[in-house]
Amino acid sequence: MKKGPKVILNEKEIDRALSRMSHQIIEHNKGVEGLCLIGIRTGGVPLAYRLQEKIKKIEGSAPLVGVLDITLYRDDWSKLSQHPIIRKTEIPFSIDDRKIVLVDDVIYTGRTIRAALDAVMDYGRPSKVELAVLVDRGRRELPIQPDFCGVTLSTSKQEHVNVYLKEIGGEDKVLLEKTEESDG
């Protein structure tokens, strides 16, 4: 009998995790001066804007927010589709000498973040780059770790973490689901 998806975080728990991460980002960076949040398409973008709002409520001023598309920076883009969908990167400010917090919904192998680092460096030279993720599901293939994390899970290759956010057509929840694939 197949089990249904397991709810890892509900709406209230996502909000609580983002509040905690906001405080950690502020504390670690000693405020918001020179701080920018850059959301990685797709899931990282609404999370970056939510973190911006929470930081603004705490500090009274908000960090700048940018949007990063990494499609052509991925090392597997040709495997994903012969015609990848490329969306706009929107970083309407200089990142030179700024503290950047890359924001994504899930970190798994680390390959998305590697691609994001390559993409960011094409826009300038930040003084520091940190990583904030809602879910760290482990099983890294590259030596990349989040600086700020909502929840850490230990998952298998047969499991998948899905983050649903109201900004991208869902209700706020994080689900852990079994996939049909096996290790062989």
User: pLDDT tens for residues 106-132?
Assistant: 999 999 999 999 999 999 999 999 999
CA dist 140 and 23 (Å) reads: 26
Give the model confidence (pLDDT) of 79-95 as tens digits: 555 666 777 899 999 99
The answer to whether 65 and 37 have CB atoms below 8 angstroms apart is yes
CA dist 88 and 114 (Å) reads: 19
The answer to whether 120 and 96 have CB atoms below 8 angstroms apart is no
| CA distances to 28, 38, 68, 88, 181 from 84, in Å | 37, 22, 15, 13, 24
Q: 166-169: long-range contacts at Cβ-Cβ below 8 A with a sequence spacing of 24 or more?
A: 167/45, 167/46, 167/49, 168/42, 168/43, 168/46
Give the model confidence (pLDDT) of 5-54 as tens digits: 999 999 999 999 999 999 999 999 999 999 999 999 999 999 999 999 99
The pLDDT of residue 169 is above 60: yes
What Rg do the C-alpha atoms of the chain give, in angstroms?
16
CA dist 110 and 138 (Å) reads: 9
Nearest to 179 by CA among 133, 128, 137: 137
Top CATH class, 12-157: alpha beta
CA dist 122 and 48 (Å) reads: 20
Nearest to 5 by CA among 174, 183, 180: 174
